[in-house]
């Protein structure tokens, strides 16, 4: 796979504070990368630097050889809270930024129309953006980021401000875009990251603490486990006491981590049968990204 | 002062422009979503202080978002 | 400069839609015509208002046309400058603060084109309005006080426009440098307070941009002191160029202050 972007030792200092500390990663062409981390981890700082809005204190950003000329032409950026000139209509704005990104007059207009159709703003394209709702602004924000068909799309929390319906729609649009665009997006909603990602970057306090594909990270952190759901917490607590394997209780659920595939399902069921405890479900599962995220963060605490 | 002696051709433009300013300010006040301070207050200021009212409204009252 | 026309179109749309394109010329015209009218009819107005003892006679000095025009300039120098400073201090700072500029700054824009789009719209609004206002003013002065020499008036208008260009550049440069609030204070200081200081203490020097309106008046009444005028003009033009260069530099440097 071709590398589109290589970031090496990217650091941003504000006085003594390090907002970003020696971050190194690469993005392959036409892949989606999720930048995840708690608030204040440096996600926005990292994206702003790649978008050219902030200057790094040190470190290098190398953009792939197939992006020539002014690289800002090849970048689309969606800020977390996109703000628009309230007196311009959606179409006027999109057309303007398309021209600023180098599209010529005619092209800019038709491309702006097409992009607004794509993000679902066909009916609102001649309305002033000052009247737009949060969801519409997010769509227009996406439209302005993709109108010039950039090679690299940088999205800061593209869906976190949306309701579940809007989130679904935007995620579907992003998946469509991802087929011919390299996407780097930040999120703290891990379900979204799970859905569209070739690479995960975990940021914590400005440091890149873990990276890899979803599968790699899962293999590393999320040993498969048994989830046993009891009818109440007392029953669960009793089981933790008698369990022959190390077990962890979360309310009515008891988790047993597997090590080298031990114990097997049969052994667990036998123990449970003998215990006479009231339970409602036993399943073998792998950890969700959320659980991995907590593990990654805790590990570096 | 006799009404006929008033040079209306010279005074009239002043009155027209004042009126225009007030109309423009009122239309704008009606159209904008937010102002700094209540809208009725700005309506009063625009109408009562004929020249300076609309100017103060446009500079201070109008919120440029 | 390649984005100038695109960015200028945005500025134009803004100022048409927020009515600046209407109210600024209207205000300048209003002051332009009410000044000669008020002076001319002041005695009659005072008499009509009454409360004046009949034996008291108003000895108003006889005004010459150029004095009326300069008195209008006095209004422009105060109210006009307040409009320039308060109405435009946010021209760059505001879009940086509210985050709208972020979507311009991520694109391959030229900051020279960006600053010039601001300069052009302010030039049209301010210099255009002042010129229309002064033309209305000279018409009224002509009717009420007598003829004004056309060539002298053009020289006067040109000189005053250079001063306005200087004022515009001061505001744009402060807006590129500071937040809207600080930019308006800095602009008021430089355009109104320094003007006052220059007129109070200014007998000690003759070359200064703040003296251009005074020299414009001298052109009008035919008593122009050529050498200090020439040098003031040169200094002002040089300062204007420096302010524009500085504004471009600051606009670019402060990109990182834009709300993201």
Between A290 and C74, name the one with better pLDDT.
C74
C11: which residues sit within 8 A by CB, 6+ positions away? C117, C118, C120, C121
Sorting pLDDT into bands at 50, 70 and 90, what band is A127? very high
Residue C55 pLDDT exceeds 70: no
* Report for A136-140, A269-273, A276-280, C241-245: range of highest mean pLDDT: C241-245
Between C180 and A237, name the one with better pLDDT.
C180
Closest CA to B7 of C202, C37, A141: C37
Instruction: Give the Cα separation of B56 and B38 in Å (integer).
Output: 14
Domain contains A160: yes
Using the beta-carbon criterion (under 8 Å), do A55 and C6 form an inter-chain contact? no
* φ/ψ (deg, to 5) at C153: -65, -40
Q: What is the pLDDT of residue A67?
A: 57
What are A9-12's contacts with CB under 8 Å, separation 24+?
A9/A58, A9/A59, A9/A60, A10/A46, A10/A49, A10/A56, A10/A58, A10/A59, A10/A60, A10/A61, A11/A56, A11/A57, A11/A58, A11/A59, A12/A42, A12/A45, A12/A49, A12/A54, A12/A56, A12/A57, A12/A206
Is residue B10 within 8 angstroms of chain C, CB to CB? yes
Looking at A219, A240, A259, which one is the last position of a domain? A219
Interface of B with A (CB under 8 A): 33, 65
Using the beta-carbon criterion (under 8 Å), do C13 and A88 form an inter-chain contact? yes
Q: What is the pLDDT of residue A255?
A: 83
Over residues C155-214, the pLDDT tens digits come to: 999 999 999 999 999 999 999 999 999 999 999 999 999 999 988 887 788 899 999 999
Residue with tokens 């001319």: C40
Closest CA to A132 of A78, A77, A90: A90
Closest CA to C200 of C171, C237, C208, C156: C208
- Determine the number of helices (DSSP H) and then strands (DSSP E) in chain A: 10, 13
DSSP state letters, C121-153: HHIIIIIHHHHHHHHHHHHHHHHHH----HHHH
CATH number at residue A279: 3.30.70
Positive or negative, the Cα torsion across A39, A40, A45, A48? positive
Residue B1 pLDDT exceeds 90: no
What mean pLDDT is predicted for residues A150-155?
Answer: 93
Is residue A85 within 8 angstroms of chain C, CB to CB? yes
Residues A121 and A164 in one domain: yes
Q: What is the pLDDT of residue C97?
A: 94
- SS3 of chain C: helix, strand, coil, percent, to 5: 80, 0, 20
Provide the CA C167 distance to its chain's centre, in angstroms: 6
Q: What is the pLDDT of residue A214?
A: 81
Over residues A189-230, the pLDDT tens digits come to: 777 788 888 899 999 888 898 888 888 887 777 667 788 888
Is residue C46 within 8 angstroms of chain B, CB to CB? no
Q: What is the pLDDT of residue A260?
A: 66
Domain ranges of chain C: 4-40+60-257
Sorting pLDDT into bands at 50, 70 and 90, what band is C53? low
Sorting pLDDT into bands at 50, 70 and 90, what band is C85? very high
Domain contains A291: no
Sorting pLDDT into bands at 50, 70 and 90, what band is A69? low
Q: How many CB atoms lie within 10 A of CB B55?
A: 23
Using the beta-carbon criterion (under 8 Å), do B59 and C47 form an inter-chain contact? no
A46, closest residue in chain C (CA to CA)? C260
Between helices C81-88 and C180-188, what is the axis angle to 10°?
160
Provide the CA C117 distance to its chain's centre, in angstroms: 18
Q: What is the pLDDT of residue B3?
A: 59
Lowest mean pLDDT segment, chosen from C122-131, C193-202, C234-243: C193-202
Q: What is the pLDDT of residue B24?
A: 93
Count how many Cα atoms sit within 13 Å of the Cα of residue B46 in the half-sphere of its side chain.
26
Beta strand spans in chain C (E): none
Q: Which chain B positions have a beta carbon within 8 Å of A130's beta carbon?
A: 33, 65
Residue A131 pLDDT exceeds 70: yes
Q: In the 8-state DSSP scheme, what is residue A71?
A: G
Q: What is the pLDDT of residue C52?
A: 61
CATH number at residue A44: 3.40.50.300
Q: What is the pLDDT of residue B64?
A: 64
Q: Which chain B positions have a beta carbon within 8 Å of C82's beta carbon?
A: 59
Q: What is the pLDDT of residue C104?
A: 94
Between A164 and B65, name the one with better pLDDT.
A164
Predicted ipTM?
Answer: 0.89
A256 within 8 A of A228, measured Cβ to Cβ: yes
Between A69 and C20, name the one with better pLDDT.
C20
Domain contains A301: no
Number of domains within chain A:
2
- Residues forming beta bridges with residue C213, ordered by sequence position: none
Residues A101 and A140 in one domain: yes
Using the beta-carbon criterion (under 8 Å), do C256 and A88 form an inter-chain contact? no
Q: Which chain B positions have a beta carbon within 8 Å of A86's beta carbon?
A: 65
Is residue C260 within 8 angstroms of chain A, CB to CB? yes
Residue B42 pLDDT exceeds 70: yes
Query: What range defines the domain where residue A253 resides?
Result: 223-285
Distances (CA, A) of C167 to C158, C209, C219: 14, 10, 20
Q: What is the pLDDT of residue B65?
A: 54
Q: What is the pLDDT of residue A250?
A: 82
Domain contains A13: yes
Between A168 and A94, name the one with better pLDDT.
A94
DSSP state letters, A198-238: SEEEEEETTEEEEEE-HHHHHHHH---EEEEEESSHHHHHH
Burial C64-83 (b: 16+ CB within 10 A, else e): ebbbbbbbbbebbbebbbbb
What mean pLDDT is predicted for residues C46-60?
Answer: 64
Q: What is the pLDDT of residue C32?
A: 95
Residues A230 and A197 in one domain: no
Average pLDDT along chain C: 92
Q: In the 8-state DSSP scheme, what is residue A29?
A: T
Residue C113 pLDDT exceeds 70: yes
């Amino acid at each position: 796979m071709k590398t589109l972007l290589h970031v090496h030792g990217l650091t941003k200092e504000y006085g003594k504070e390090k907002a970003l500390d020696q971050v190194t990663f690469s993005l392959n062409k036409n892949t989606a990368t999720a930048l995840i981390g708690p608030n204040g981890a440096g996600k926005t700082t990292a994206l702003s630097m790649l978008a050219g809005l902030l200057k790094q204190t040190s470190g290098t950003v190398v953009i792939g050889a197939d992006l020539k000329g002014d690289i800002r032409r090849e970048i689309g950026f969606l800020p977390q809270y996109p703000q628009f000139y309230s007196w311009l209509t959606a179409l006027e704005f999109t057309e303007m930024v398309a021209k600023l990104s180098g599209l010529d007059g005619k092209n800019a207009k038709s491309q702006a129309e097409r992009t607004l159709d794509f993000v679902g703003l066909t009916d609102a394209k001649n309305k002033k953006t000052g009247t737009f709702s949060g969801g519409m602004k997010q769509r227009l924000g996406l439209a302005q980021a993709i109108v010039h068909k950039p090679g690299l799309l940088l999205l800061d929390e593209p869906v976190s401000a949306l309701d579940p319906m809007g989130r679904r729609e935007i995620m579907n649009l992003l998946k469509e875009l991802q087929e011919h665009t390299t996407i780097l997006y930040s999120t703290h909603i891990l379900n979204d990251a799970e859905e569209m990602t070739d690479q995960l970057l975990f940021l914590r306090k400005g440091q890149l603490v873990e990276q890899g594909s979803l599968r790699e990270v899962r293999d590393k952190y999320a040993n498969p486990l048994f989830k046993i759901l009891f009818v109440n917490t007392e029953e669960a607590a009793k089981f933790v006491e008698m369990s022959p394997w190390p077990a962890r209780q979360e309310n009515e659920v008891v988790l047993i981590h597997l090590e080298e595939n031990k114990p097997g399902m049969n052994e667990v069921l036998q123990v449970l049968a003998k215990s006479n405890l009231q339970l409602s479900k036993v399943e073998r599962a792998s950890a969700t990204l959320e659980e991995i995220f907590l593990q990654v963060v805790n590990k570096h605490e | 002062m006799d009404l006929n002696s008033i040079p209306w051709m010279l005074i009239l433009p002043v009155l027209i422009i004042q009126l225009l300013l007030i109309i423009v300010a009122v239309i704008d006040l009606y159209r904008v979503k937010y102002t700094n301070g209540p809208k009725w207050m700005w309506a009063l200021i625009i109408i009562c202080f004929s020249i300076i009212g609309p100017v103060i409204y446009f500079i201070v009252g109008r919120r440029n978002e | 400069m390649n984005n100038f026309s695109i960015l200028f179109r945005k500025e134009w749309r803004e100022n048409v839609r927020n009515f600046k394109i209407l109210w600024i010329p209207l205000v300048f015209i209003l002051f332009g015509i009410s000044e000669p009218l008020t002076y001319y009819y002041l005695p009659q107005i005072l008499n009509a208002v009454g409360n004046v003892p009949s034996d008291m006679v108003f000895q108003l000095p006889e005004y010459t046309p150029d004095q009326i025009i300069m008195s209008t300039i006095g209004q422009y120098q105060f109210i006009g400058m307040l409009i320039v400073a308060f109405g435009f201090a946010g021209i760059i700072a505001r879009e940086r603060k509210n985050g709208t500029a972020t979507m311009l700054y991520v694109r391959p824009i030229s900051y020279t084109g960006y600053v010039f789009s601001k300069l052009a719209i302010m030039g049209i609004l301010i210099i255009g309005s002042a010129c229309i206002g002064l033309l209305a003013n000279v018409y009224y002065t002509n009717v009420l006080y007598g003829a004004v020499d056309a060539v002298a008036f053009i020289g006067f208008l040109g000189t005053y426009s250079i001063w306005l260009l200087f004022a515009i550049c001061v505001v744009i440069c402060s807006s590129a440098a500071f937040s809207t609030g600080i930019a308006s204070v800095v602009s008021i200081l430089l355009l109104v307070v320094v003007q006052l200081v220059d007129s109070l203490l200014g007998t000690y020097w003759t070359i200064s941009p703040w003296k251009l309106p005074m020299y414009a008046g001298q052109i009008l009444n035919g008593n122009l002191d050529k050498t200090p005028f020439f040098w003031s003009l040169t200094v002002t033009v040089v300062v204007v160029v420096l302010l524009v260069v500085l504004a471009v530099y600051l606009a670019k440097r402060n990109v990182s202050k834009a709300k993201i």
